[in-house]
Structure 1
Amino acid sequence: MKRTLQQRLQDGPVVCGEGYLFELERRGYLQAGSFVPEVALENPQALKQTYRDYMNAGSDVVLAFTYNAHREKMRIIGKEDLLEPLNREAIRLAKEVAQEHPTEEALVAGNVSNTNLFDPEDPASKEKVRSMFAEMLTWCKEEGVDFVNGETFYYYEEAQIALEEILKQDLPAVITLGVMGENKMRDGYEVDEACQKLQENGALVVGMNCFRGPATMQPYVNKIRETVDGYVAALPVPYRTTEEHPTFFNLPDGGCSCHLPTETTFPTSLDPLYCNRYEIANWAKEAYDVGVNYFGLCCGASPSMLREVAETVGREAVNSKYSPNMEKHFLFGSDESLKSHNTQFRTKA
């Protein structure tokens, strides 16, 4: 039998591949802006291949792509009738891919996330959010997920509602928070305080995901690790966020010479602002050294970036055989059989 999430965490770091939203938009199967994962119904093979690519890059988890697949988002695009079929199909496809893992079947995680509906001053909105989570989590339970990932919450209270509904289904919970430019939760909690409360209330793993790159997430992860006794998660976006611009929502691109159709580089003009894989590796080592247990990358991540994380924390991915090796490169290689009339010009190429 495959190990549970808790068993894997006890044995060492767990890697979870996220970032499907941007990746499937890059591959041409999802619309930027609305960001609704209709791909589960419209192009299931494309979604399966994306699941597969992240799993083979080192993810221990196939995360069902139901981010934004909640009733409020489906209402906005006029497709509430597809809500349940989309959620169930995303989980079923994840289970099929998880069974393909050659050494140990991957875990399958259900997913609920920020609703953009929650209003701390409106009790009715809180009940709507609870109802939305409850129906999605019922489907998660019926489809047999191993645990549920509740993510990208910028209100502590919304995260707490999600946690309560996950626990009602008797499922383990990973709860990660998205911290915007205020540097705290929007209902006033410090992020480490919010994580401590979530852990005390039953979350197996707590931490942060999305919005922030490694440079502006890790200082808060350090505080969480100091505050929380249990398992801690960190899943930044792979962009060069700064103290002045702590999230990827307002990152400037001073080198851009064209007119951008959007107000900022987010979400379709972020390409020049990527971290390279070695910056990602440096972050993963830092996070590992301070005691992070649950690793990943969020929006913008590619399989090669995730593989860098997995290998940095001591894991060998299915596709580690394709990790870079420049030994036989015609210009930059060191193999003695390479032609010297090529290698001597490596500095002038």
Structure 2
Amino acid sequence: MVKKGLLERLNAGEVVIGDGGFVFELEKRGYVKAGPWTPEACVEFPEAVKGLHREFLRSGSDVMQTFTFYASDDKLNNRGNQAGVKFTCRQVNDAACRLAREVANEGDALVAGGISQTPTYLSGLGKQKTQAEFKRQVDVFVENKVDFLIAEYYEHIEEMEWAIESLIESGLPVCASMCIGPEGDLHGVSAGECAVRMARAGADVVGVNCHFDPFVSLDAMALMKKALDAAGIKVYLMVQPLGIWTPDAKKQGFIDLPEFPFGLEPRIMTRWDMHRYARQAYDMGIRYIGGCCKIQSYHIRAVAEELQKERGKMPASHDKHDMWGGGLMLHTKPWVRARANREYWENLNPSSGRPYSAALSKPDEWGVTQGHQDLRQHAESTTNDEIKSTTCKYKK
């Protein structure tokens, strides 16, 4: 049976559920190096990557997104001497496509090829060189016959526009999501204007991913939707947030929190938080609903369970998970059996269990990654290895 494509599903009013986080999850499991966060695990540990794809498929994901975050040649090659990366963009992207397709074929899922921001842009090397990095990835995706493309994790709308231009040349449907919150991009462009510019650049689906929790991300989506409506632009919406709470994060999101990246676990969303997120996203008119870093398979299962009526089905892993804790009726303790109901879990305000912790953190007082002129000036006074760094921060 031929699978319906992304736009065919969205045109029919279906809800498309994305997958979750690979970078942080595979780092925890010992397959990704924290810091560079690059996906050579696709070549080195294919079974680990494939297993995570399969977890999301069982939990209700309609999309197997290739594990190709930060897989451009400029990112992989720039740190080869530092962290031992020995694979090229083509090798990583090709392996990622094959793994995603293998699992997608086990169900009704689609394969999405994903690209993200580049060191080339942040180093101010210009449009032509930045798009050359995108093209090398897109060529591999087209050869592997992915179903659609996603440009995600962009902090600057200018680079996002360049990415969209590169993706639409493939002739495939294009999704675009920026890692921004309600304050907009790191060059001061509002969230609403970013949405309008993504749509006008040619993206079929626009939204946000990463950097902020589901509810901050939905605040950003509300601004995007308002601006798109005001401009008279009809485009599909997507949201794929973090799986942690970030009410105290500033413009640059969770990477400025002092807990980043190894102390974020106390902030993890519960499955019940994800039910609320899924309902609010759907009620806003968002039809591509998924997750990014720290979103695990049980979070995606919660999204699929919340939207069961709209989707007309339950995820496979629901067989081991009764709605709203119903399985607890089989517990031996009466006070645990009493928790087998929706009212209990919807009204629970969970404690962290960390008696000496503050409720919120004070983000680090660093400037944002500017790109262009700031990085060009910085590059003049640094070594070649430092120039190629993907994050160049300036103390206020």
In structure 2, give the amino acid aligned to 1:208: V
Judged with a 3 Å threshold, the aligned counterparts in structure 2 of structure 1 residues 334 and 186 are, in CA distance, closer, same or farther, namely closer
Q: Identify if the C-alpha distance between structure 1 residues 214 and 134 changes in structure 2 by more than 3 Å, giving closer, same or farther.
A: same
Q: Hey, which bits of structure 1, 4+ residues long, moved more than 3 A?
A: 243-246
What are the Cα deviations for residues 11-65 of structure 1, in whole angstroms up to 9, with x where unaligned? Answer: 3211110311111112221111111111111111111111111111111011010
Counterpart of 2:22 in structure 1 is 20
* Cα contact 1:225–1:292 (8 A) shared by 2: no
TM-score, structure 2 normalization: 0.76
Amino acid aligned to 2:296:
S
Distance 1:40 1:305 in 2: 23
What is aligned with 2:246?
241
Q: Which amino acid aligns with 1:272?
A: P
Q: Secondary structure at the match of 1:153?
A: coil
2: CA distance, partners of 1:125 / 1:40: 30
Identity between Structure 1 and Structure 2 (%): 30
Does 2:194 correspond to 1:188? no
* TM-score, structure 1 as length reference: 0.86
Residue aligning to 1:266: 260
For residue 215 of structure 1, report the CA deviation from its aligned partner.
Answer: 2.8
SS in 2 for 1:186: coil
Aligned twin of 1:255: none
Unpaired segments ≥5 residues, structure 1: 252-263, 336-349
1:129 CA drift (Å)? 1.3
Q: Which residue of 2 aligns with 1:320?
A: 318
What is aligned with 1:258?
A: none
- The one-letter amino acid of 2:105's match is Q
Q: Deviations over 1:298-333 (max 9, x none)?
A: 101110011111222234212111224212122222
Measure the CA separation in 1 of the matches of 2:189 and 2:86. 33
Structure 2 distance, partners of 1:195, 1:80, is 37
The answer to whether the 8 Å contact 2:77/2:88 transfers is no
CA distance in 2, matches of 1:244, 1:58: 30
Greater CA drift, 225-234 or 153-162: 225-234
How many correspondences in the alignment? 317
CA distance in 1, matches of 2:304, 2:249: 30
Question: In structure 1, what is the equivalent of residue 356 of structure 2?
Answer: none
On the 8 A contact 1:195/1:207 being kept in 2, the answer is: yes
Q: Is the 8 A contact 2:271 2:299 kept in 1?
A: yes
For residue 245 of structure 1, report the CA deviation from its aligned partner: 4.3
1:129 maps to 130
Contact 1:211-1:249 within 8 A present in 2 as well: yes
Look up the match of 1:346. none
Distance 1:80 1:126, change over 3 A: farther
**Conserved in 1, the CA contact under 8 Å of 2:20 and 2:297?**
no
> In structure 2, how many angstroms separate the alpha carbons of the residues matched to 1:265 and 1:329?
36
- Preserved CA contact (<8 Å) 1:216 1:243: no
Q: How many Å apart are 1:99 and its aligned residue?
A: 0.6
Shift of 1:210: 0.2
In the alignment, is the contact (CA less than 8 A) between 2:113 and 2:149 conserved in 1? yes
The aligned runs of 1:96-175 (5 Å cut-off) are 96-101=102-107, 104=108, 106-119=109-122, 122=124, 124-175=125-176
1:288 maps to amino acid: Y
- Between 12-21 and 80-89, report the one with greater CA deviation: 80-89
Q: Secondary structure at the match of 1:330?
A: coil
2:368 aligns with none
Question: What is the CA–CA distance in structure 1 between the aligned matches of 2:76 and 2:259, rounded to whole Å?
Answer: 26
Quote the residue 2:301 is aligned against. Answer: 307
> What is the root-mean-square deviation of aligned Cα atoms in Å?
1.9
1:197-216 alignment, distance < 5 Å? 197-216=197-216
2:59 corresponds to which residue? 57
For structure 2, list consecutive stretches of 5 or more residues without a partner in the other structure.
Answer: 229-233, 340-396
Q: CA deviation at 1:225?
A: 2.1
Note closer, same or farther for the CA distance 1:326–1:154 as it changes in structure 2 (3 Å cut): same
Matched, 1:333 2:331: no
The answer to which of 225-234 and 12-21 deviates more is: 225-234
